[in-house]
Amino acid sequence: MIWATVAVVLGIALTVVSADKFVEGSASLASRLGMSHFLIGLTIVSIGTSAPELLVSAVAAFQGSPGLALGNALGSNITNIALVLGTTACICPLMVPGSIARRELPLLTLIGLCVCALAYRGIYDLWAGLALIATLPVVLHQVVRGEVQITHETEIAELSLKTSLVLTVGGLLILLGGSKTLVWGATEIARYFGVSELIIGLTIVAVGTSLPELAASVASALKNKTEMALGTVIGSNFFNFLGVIGVAAIISPFSIEPDVITRDLPWTLGLTVLLWLLALFGAQGILKRSHGALLILLYVSYLCHISATIVPN
């Protein structure tokens, strides 16, 4: 149990740090190859903040722990909205651009409905995974096409070619190693306490892999770039719905536990809809501190709901 706990803490630390270095190196490399800062932010940085979820879920699926993979994806989306945005809004009220309320959040809600519909089939199989993965570039295209003007550019560190390559390759390798360590520790803890891997994925692993989003969102809000904070969370949730679940289903098709249908998917979809309504009808398009407190309270309520429905294995 002690080694499993150490593995989880070490795995989370490695995935968070290595994901940051991977983004730094690959963004610098892409800039050297002529990509615009906006395009780098939309692709590499967005994927990079979701890299821990993606790698952890892929490793979990490879090792025969699909419940951990699904729990990581859904738990991360819940954590991103309720805990990450809630905490960020409590620190600094967030301005919500009208385009996000009119375009990205309705699209995220629609994708959430599609993920729920696929789950009601009782299985995420190869075809479901392929459908989710195929939808991801379509969503990115829609977001780019609807962007009327760019209000900010991603800050790219100027690194030498050698340093960029070392950070990119090294960050990716360490990320993979950290993911394997985290998955092993999480599955051992689940066995020790006699709970499902889904529960561990929804809680410990989801919070750990959402740390890059929390750091990026708080940093953006403190720099008065609140649209970046929202964009980080929304972009990450797109990747979790489509990329993380899609990759896990392709690697190892898995059946859906009943609690996912009755508890986790309704919470995921409900928080997405709530965020959309707050953005659409909130006073002057602002997520206020009171909204942030509400989101954090809902996150605590979700954890209480999980505790009330745990059935020991």
Q: Please indicate whether residue 231 or residue 152 has the higher confidence score (pLDDT).
A: 231
Nearest to 274 by CA among 50, 72, 85: 85
Residue 220 clears pLDDT 70, i.e. is over it: no
Looking at residue 151, its pLDDT comes to: 45
Highest mean pLDDT: which range of 125-134, 196-205, 251-260: 125-134
What angle is formed at CA 299 by the lines to CA 74 and CA 184, rounded to 5 degrees?
Answer: 45
Which domains can be identified in the chain, with CATH numbers? 2-309 (1.20.1420.30)
Residue 137 clears pLDDT 70, i.e. is over it: yes
Looking at residue 19, its pLDDT comes to: 63
Task: Please say whether the beta carbons of 87 and 297 come within 8 A.
Answer: no
Looking at residue 38, its pLDDT comes to: 47
**Rounded mean pLDDT, 87-102:** 82
Burial readout 94-133 (b: 16 or more C-beta within 10 A, e: otherwise): bbbbebbbebbbebbeebbebbeebbeeeebbeebbeebb
Q: Is the pTM of this model over 0.85?
A: no
